[in-house]
Amino acid sequence: DAGITQSPRHKVTETGTPVTLRCHQTENHRYMYWYRQDPGHGLRLIHYSYGVKDTDKGEVSDGYSVSRSKTEDFLLTLESATSSQTSVYFCAISESSPKSGGAGKTQYFGPGTRLLVL
């Protein structure tokens, strides 16, 4: 358990409205990530953060912005939601894992937020 919570867990919204999803972690991890999961695509990285106020884009960042004003919180904002952003969103942190076969960092995921944009 990497101490990751996401809120809300479920949300229904209308096209054109802003939406903010929150990821909260309790263990002071430096790296945090936002992914979306869609059928046929696996998990795709939206944005990530490598420290407070330090963020960068992933492979599907269009239409999304992020903010990290403190270590424990990483916010994902859809400025104007579209139906194509209907998805399940996962937050993750990374840390070294004793189960890795050699050196390596592992990402651990939160429970997810299911977002429906009508």
Partner 1 sequence: DQQVKQNSPSLSVQEGRISILNCDYTNSMFDYFLWYKKYPAEGPTFLISISSIKDKNEDGRFTVFLNKSAKHLSLHIVPSQPGDSAVYFCAASANFGNEKLTFGTGTRLTIIP
Query: Is 110 among the residues that bind partner 1 (CB under 8 A)?
Result: yes
Query: Is 62 among the residues that bind partner 1 (CB under 8 A)?
Result: no
Query: Is 109 among the residues that bind partner 1 (CB under 8 A)?
Result: yes
Query: Is 107 among the residues that bind partner 1 (CB under 8 A)?
Result: yes
Judged by CB under 8 A, the residue of 11, 24, 58, 75 near partner 1 is: 58
CA–CA–CA angle 54, 61, 29 (5° rounding): 35
CB 76 within 8 A of CB 64: yes
Number of residues that bind partner 1 (CB under 8 A): 27
Q: Mark the segment that binds partner 1 (CB under 8 A) among 18-26, 36-44, 60-68, 70-78.
A: 36-44
CA dist 52 and 96 (Å) reads 20
Q: Examine residue 98 and say whether the peptide bond preceding it is cis (omega within 30 degrees of 0).
A: no
Q: How far is CA 114 from the centre of its chain?
A: 12
Binding residues (CB under 8 A) for partner 1: these are 4, 40-45, 48, 58, 90, 94, 97, 99-112, 114
